[in-house]
Amino acid sequence: SQRLTYSTEAAVGQAVGDLIVEIIGRKPAAVLGLATGATMEPVYANLVAAFKRGDVSFAGVTSFNLDEYVGIPTSHPRSYRSTMNALFFDHVDIDKNRTFLPEASVDKPDEAGERYERMIAKAGGIDLQLLGIGRNGHIGFNEPGSAKDSRTRLVELHEDTLRANARFFSDRPVPSSAITMGIGTILSAKQIVLTATGVAKADAVRRATSGGFQADCPASALQEHDKVSWFFDRAAAGLRM
């Protein structure tokens, strides 16, 4: 594992983008695990820029996003499908038929979770999983209390997460449930990159990176994975700015 701290959020986005470009350069058919959220936006902006420069092609890449809201249509502008299209997929040469998110608008979420796990396995597993971290230590939508061996499933979002996401939903209440990869799903990835920026994440980062697994900080499970890279800006790392 490695821990890298940069002076600015922009530098973090650049470094994570560069790492992904390097991985796809080595393995053009890489399977990427993707995340949404504000932290990821500079990363996708850097990937789009690298594609436009001709530095990378996503034509062979398959992707699996961590999570999707339940209770809003996929076509809603704040669904994670719409968000991924707008920030990334629409601007690069990835085959959208090979970009997957949990199928959240279904009657039987249990089956949807199992189906997602099978699809990941069939693709050969995830080469690189990108993660953000919630202020409460969540990864994907694995809220505090999630089991370390949890797999893709329907979950209820915590109050803190609803509050953090409310700003995105002016037209309707913020969705209160989601389908998310589990902590066990995430730990099955061959390599993991967790990105955290901003002082609001400093406490979660501290708990995630020390003291072993604590159920009240799901990201702390990553300490048990042997290929995790932590990318922080100084604020999230708890350093003086």
Q: Which residue is nearest to ligand F6R (CB)?
A: 132
Judge contact between 133 and 230, C-beta under 8 A: no
Q: Which of 102, 140, 175, 182 binds ligand F6R (CB under 6 A)?
A: 140
Report the 10 Å Cβ neighbour count for 110.
12
Rounded least distance, CB 160 to ligand F6R, Å? 10
Q: Is 136 in the site for ligand F6R (CB under 6 A)?
A: no
Q: Is 39 in the site for ligand F6R (CB under 6 A)?
A: yes
Rounded least distance, CB 165 to ligand F6R, Å? 8
Q: Which of 16, 84, 94, 139 binds ligand F6R (CB under 6 A)?
A: 139
Q: Is residue 46 annotated as a catalytic residue, yes or no?
A: no
Q: Is 146 in the site for ligand F6R (CB under 6 A)?
A: no
Q: Is 132 in the site for ligand F6R (CB under 6 A)?
A: yes
Question: How many helices (H) and strands (E) would you count in the chain?
Answer: 7, 10
What are the start-end ranges of the E strands in 117-158?
Answer: 128-131, 153-156
Residues 6+ apart with CB under 8 A from 173: none
Q: Which of 9, 68, 103, 143 is catalytic?
A: 143
Judge contact between 235 and 8, C-beta under 8 A: no
Applying CB under 6 A, the span of 36-44, 92-100, 110-118, 227-235 interacting with ligand F6R comes to 36-44
Applying CB under 6 A, the span of 12-20, 42-50, 129-137, 147-155 interacting with ligand F6R comes to 129-137
DSSP annotation of 220: G
Q: Which residue has the tokens 């990553």?
A: 222
The tokens for 21 are 């470009």
Q: Which residue has the tokens 């961590």?
A: 66
Contact positions vs ligand F6R (CB under 6 A): 35-39, 66-67, 132-134, 138-140
Active site residues: 67, 136, 138, 143
